[in-house]
Amino acid sequence: MSALADVFARTRAEGRAALVGYLPAGYPTVAGAVDALTAMVDAGVDVIEVGLPYSDPLMDGPIIQAAVEAALHDGTTTADVLATVEAVAATGAATVVMSYWNPIDRYGMSRFADGVAAAGGAGVITPDLIPDEAAPWLEAVHAAGIDPVFLVAPSSTRARIERVVSVTRGFVYAASTMGVTGARDSVATSAQVLVERVRQVTDLPVCVGLGVSTAEQAAEVAGYADGVIVGSAFVRRLLDAVTPRDGVAAVAELAAALAIGVRTGPAR
């Protein structure tokens, strides 16, 4: 059983959804990102997504883009991302990388997958890689023993969902809306419908991302999904912080509130 499977088995036994938190590696610094991610784990985040900074982040809204651009400007490398994974995984939290395909392809598929595994990572989310073009990548991650995570969206047909879940391991990433990342006043109603559609074809855990920023929204999504993914809201706390220490405290405060939220959704 993989580290991700362990997490969802535990949260299901506890009658709640898992809390998944994202931050890009390298912001505000490599060490600062590790401090913030570790604080999120201590405050109740179950799965950590370490973002690999990339210059053309198609799905990322302005909040994440601002942090990613700063990380790239400061010279954050793939080696820094893997070092971040290693530091966070050492806490015992299931840790995955979120990366667009181009940086992985340039680094080398097998080299990257092996690097994630060696760092203690549990898997890799590739938002812009479709299963139809993923055969070499699937060979690499399977050889490394880590989970490939793919996305479905409200526009996905049943055939597309079936194709995605056939190659996905760990969990299915359900994008709540069509568009870029960013905290929203409410989570799209299409998210629950999408989760129900995915569950018609797979027993894999389904996690909802894009838009969750408050404990109330987390509780809402926890009522129908296996996991609640939060990214921009955490990044916003770091961007708004006066000092790195303030940023760590801010993300920890948000994580604690969201952890309560995922525990107040209806029992599964």
Residue among 142, 89, 127 at smallest CA distance from 210: 127
CATH number of the structural domain spanning residue 251: 3.20.20.70
Pairing outcome for strands 206-209 and 151-152: unpaired
**Is residue 25 domain-resident?**
yes
What pLDDT shows up at residue 265? 61
By residue range, what is the domain housing residue 68?
Answer: 3-150+212-264
Rounded Cα distance, 67 and 241, in Å: 12
Quick one: pLDDT at residue 32? 98
Q: Is the pTM of this model over 0.75?
A: yes
pLDDT given for residue 180 in this prediction: 42
Domain presence at residue 241: yes
First-residue to last-residue Cα distance in the chain: 21
Instruction: Please report the pLDDT score of residue 266 as a whole number.
Output: 56
Backbone dihedral region for residue 145 (phi beyond 0: left; psi -120 to 50: alpha; all else: beta)? left
Whether residue 178 is contained in a domain is answered as no
Distance between CA atoms of residues 5 and 115, nearest Å: 20
Cβ atoms within 10 Å of 27's Cβ, excluding its own? 26
pLDDT score of 185 = 45
Residue 201 within a domain: no
3-state secondary structure of 24: strand
120 occurs within a structural domain: yes
Active-site residue list: 49, 60
The per-residue pLDDT for 94 is 98
149: helix, coil or strand?
A: strand
Q: What is the pLDDT along the chain (268 residues), one digit of tens a residue?
A: 689 999 999 999 999 999 999 999 999 999 999 999 999 999 999 999 999 999 887 777 889 999 999 999 999 999 999 999 999 999 999 999 999 999 999 999 999 999 999 999 999 999 999 999 999 999 999 999 999 999 999 999 999 999 999 999 999 999 975 444 444 444 557 889 999 999 999 999 999 987 788 999 999 999 999 999 999 999 999 999 999 999 999 999 999 999 999 998 654 4
Distance CA 145, CA 176 (A): 29
Would you say residue 48 lies in a domain? yes
As for how many domains the chain has, the answer is 1
Task: Please report how many Cα atoms fall inside a 13 Å half-sphere around the Cα of residue 255, on the Cβ side.
Answer: 29
Q: Is 57 part of any domain? A: yes
Whether residue 196 is contained in a domain is answered as no
